[in-house]
Amino acid sequence: MTKIGIEVHVQLNTKSKVFCSCSTKQSDEPNSNVCEICCGFPGSKPVLNKEAFEKALKIALALGCRINKETFFSRKSYFYPDLPKNFQITQYESPIGENGKYMSIRIRRIHLEEDPGALIHKGSYCLVDYNRSGIPLVEIVTEPDFKNAKEAREFLRKLITDLSYLDVYDKKSEFGLKADLNISTTGAKVEIKNVTGLKDIEDALVYEEERQKDEIPRKNETRGWNSEKGITFLQRTKESEDDYGYITETDLPLIEIGNKLLNQIKESIPELSEEKSERFTSDYKLNEKDAKVLANNKKLAELFEKVAEKVNPDIAAKWIIRDLMNQLNYHKKSLNEIEIKAESMIDLLKLFEEKKITDNTAKQVMINMITKKNFMPKKYIEDNNLIMKSDDSQIEKWCKEAIKETKKAVEDYKNGNEKSLNFVVGKVMQLSNKTANPDAVRKILVKLIRK
């Protein structure tokens, strides 16, 4: 039976690094956001970033962990060029949180640590960028409770959503999520180290599950993941556990988590995706599927709730899930790249709800909202005279013209082909620049043709 346990490393979205005041921006010039502390120069000392600690605590609480009232940092020793001190400041004996549960998966521990620098391989040599060194990482370790890759994927997706609700993680940085994967099927335990990004994590697990059917591992082994080729490869077999010679990091004093702080952080935890989707079904009477789609994306959920205050929730949900997401997919854009203002959405959907614009017009406006910056739907609709026309005499004019131009379809309809009427309706819409009230058009067309 397959058993999977994962160790997820999440970069926290703090402004400054975990033990110094350098910026956490990684996009800058290599080695520009560095100082004596994150480069481990002799004599420098770490000072804990309170924001990072509180965010880690928030995660531990949100994932149902028991909080260690006294927690401290340790040194994990190993030599590697990306690790300035050749030890990593992390937590060992007393992590912030232990024994949690999330999506029915047991969480073994959650702790705070520093990210190493980044190695950049250039053919025969290698460069080191320490901009990443000291970025706060939270490591979330699960028990081996996943039975397959799909479960792990769903867990991680939900986790990422909830971390963004907690405002501790910036979803934009795909590389902010890394994992070590432990997977055993029929043989010994295999660890796949350092897999970056959600998709690769899924792919690596699926690959490894398949691979182990053919090559049953006899010894515990550590494998790497080749993202380009989509395969895992053997790094080394393990006879015993790694020995990092942990000792206490005595440059950082013991942290006592008082009830005041604990309550304060607890209160700061917002509604997470699970509760949110339940509330969407009960409060807005959405179906379960739509409620989940919305709740599983912070931006969508926020947009929906704002819009649903002013517009019928059914219309809001349908337009956000169906039309907005379809258009985004069609234009190959992600929600993070564009700025959709709730006000614009409300303006648009209110007009639609009040039957002042047609379905077609609304769609067309939505495309503009996605592709144009600072686009104002109401103004656009007014400027382009797109308000729905229900004036019978005007519609009758368009209908008469349409009948003239679609003689064959009209004949077919008369001969009993009901569907042919759609073609004539389409013609009217075209003539009216999509503004004719479709119900009125139908009624008038039928009347005119039957005369």
Partner 1 sequence: MKAVEYVEKIKSGELSAVETTKAVIKEIKKLNDYNYFNTISESLALELAERADKNPKGRLAGLPVSLKDDLCIKGVETTCSSNILKGYKPTFNASVVEKLINEGAVIIGKTNQDTFGFGSFNVNTDYKIPKNPLDTTRVTGGSSGGAAGFTALTKFPHVAIGESTGGSIAAPCSFCGVTGMTPTYGLVSRYGLIDYANSLDKIGPIAKNVEDLELVLDVIKGNDKKDSTSLNEDLKNDNKVKKIGLIKETLNVDPKIKDLVLKKLNETGIKYDIVSLPTITKSSLSSYYIIAMAEASTNLAKYCGMRYGQEEKVNLPFNEYFSNIRTKNFNKEIKRRIILGTFTRMAGYRDAFYLKAMKVRTLVIEEYKKTFKKYDLLVSPTMPIIAPKFSEVNKLKPKDHYMMDIMTVGPNLAGIPHISLNAGTYNKMPVGIMFMGDYLNEKKLFNIGNGLQDN
Q: Name the nearest CA neighbour of 164 among 153, 152, 172, 175.
A: 172
The DSSP call for residue 374 is T
| Amino acid of residue 24 | T
Please identify, among the stretches 166-174, 210-218, 237-245, 277-285, the one whose residues bind partner 1 according to the rule CB under 8 A.
237-245
Going through 130-170 in order, the beta strands assigned E by DSSP cover 136-142
- Under the phi-then-psi rule, with left for phi > 0, alpha for psi from -120 to 50, and beta for the rest, what region is 86? left
Can you tell me which of 75, 108, 223, 434 binds partner 1, judged by CB under 8 A?
A: 75
Find the shortest distance in angstroms from Cβ 251 to partner 1.
5
Alpha helices in 193-286 (DSSP H): 198-214, 259-268, 273-283
84 touching partner 1, by CB under 8 A: yes
Find the shortest distance in angstroms from Cβ 24 to partner 1.
20
Q: How far is CA 67 from CA 62, 74, 109, 258, 268, in A?
A: 11, 17, 10, 11, 16
Find the shortest distance in angstroms from Cβ 182 to partner 1.
19
Site string for partner 1, 113-152 (x = CB under 8 A): ------------x---------------------------
Residue 299 CA, distance from chain mean position: 9
CA pair distance 292, 263, nearest whole angstrom? 29
Can you tell me which of 246, 327, 338, 449 binds partner 1, judged by CB under 8 A?
A: 246
Secondary structure of residue 117 in the 3-state scheme = coil
Please identify, among the stretches 39-47, 191-199, 306-314, 424-432, the one whose residues bind partner 1 according to the rule CB under 8 A.
39-47
- Which residues are paired to 383 by β-bridges? none
Site string for partner 1, 193-232 (x = CB under 8 A): ----------------------------------------
Can you tell me which of 7, 16, 30, 40 binds partner 1, judged by CB under 8 A?
A: 40
36 touching partner 1, by CB under 8 A: yes
Element (H, E) at 127: strand 125-129
CA 63, 67, 72, 74 dihedral sign is negative
Find the shortest distance in angstroms from Cβ 8 to partner 1.
25
Q: Which residue has the tokens 């560095």?
A: 34
Can you tell me which of 237, 250, 282, 329 binds partner 1, judged by CB under 8 A?
A: 250
239 touching partner 1, by CB under 8 A: no
Which tokens sit at 184? 């055993």
Q: Which residue has the tokens 């005119």?
A: 448
46 touching partner 1, by CB under 8 A: yes
Find the shortest distance in angstroms from Cβ 139 to partner 1.
20
Q: Which is nearer to partner 1, 64 or 245 (CB)?
A: 245
Can you tell me which of 120, 216, 234, 247 binds partner 1, judged by CB under 8 A?
A: 247
Instruction: List residues binding partner 1 (CB under 8 A).
Output: 36, 39-48, 75, 77, 79-81, 84-87, 125, 241, 243, 245-253
